[in-house]
Structure 1
């Protein structure tokens, strides 16, 4: 199996495990009275599964994004001196401004 695919599967598994912990903590601490809503409804198990799956998708995406961003690019040589970029100096540029009013401009034409 390619390394990227195994990395993806591993990060998705971690994301769904984190989602299970998160949903479990939501139920344990009874956030927004979720425990009562889930336990007293006949569709509570479906709601719990939906909450786990949807949070799992989010957490898996974040896990995979973090894992990809932490990958190193070994093609670049390490260390060395920083190349100096040429700096442009800000120099004032003279701009001619016609201070006459529009009526004065029409008279001179």
Structure 2
């Protein structure tokens, strides 16, 4: 079996195992009365399987993502990066502005 496929299956199985532990804790601590809700149903096995399976999909994806990101090589420390080390100083810029008006509406003259 190729290493990549073995890597994927291993981490997916780890994710499903973590999901099984998570669902077991949900049921043990009876979070939101979930234990009663599942085991008093006539389709409790389907409910329990779906709870484990869908959590397994989420945890397997997270586990595989973490495993892939952990494989990244750390760059060698070659000193400071980003920019050329040139310090820039702010330069004042003059902007011509119109005088402020007292109201938001345009100025109207009274023709009386």
TM normalised by structure 2 equals: 0.74
2:32 counterpart of 1:28? no
SS class of match (1:72): coil
1:70 aligns with 70
Counterparts in 2 of 1:57 and 1:98: CA distance versus 1, 3 Å: closer
Q: Which has the higher helix share?
A: 1
Cα deviation for residue 61 of structure 1 reads 0.6
- Give 1:3 shift: 2.2
The aligned length equals 99
User: Which residue of structure 2 lines up, in the alignment, with residue 107 of structure 1?
Assistant: none
Structure 1: any 5+ residue segments left out of the alignment? 102-109
Q: Which contiguous aligned blocks of 4+ residues in structure 1 show a shift greater than 6 angstroms?
A: none
Spell out, residue by residue over 1:24-65, the C-alpha distance to the aligned partner (whole angstroms, 9 max, x if none): 111111111111111111011111000000000000011011
Cα distance change, pair 100–56 in 1 and its aligned pair in 2 (3 A): closer
Q: 1:85: which partner in 2? A: 83
Structure 2: gaps of 5 or more residues: 101-112
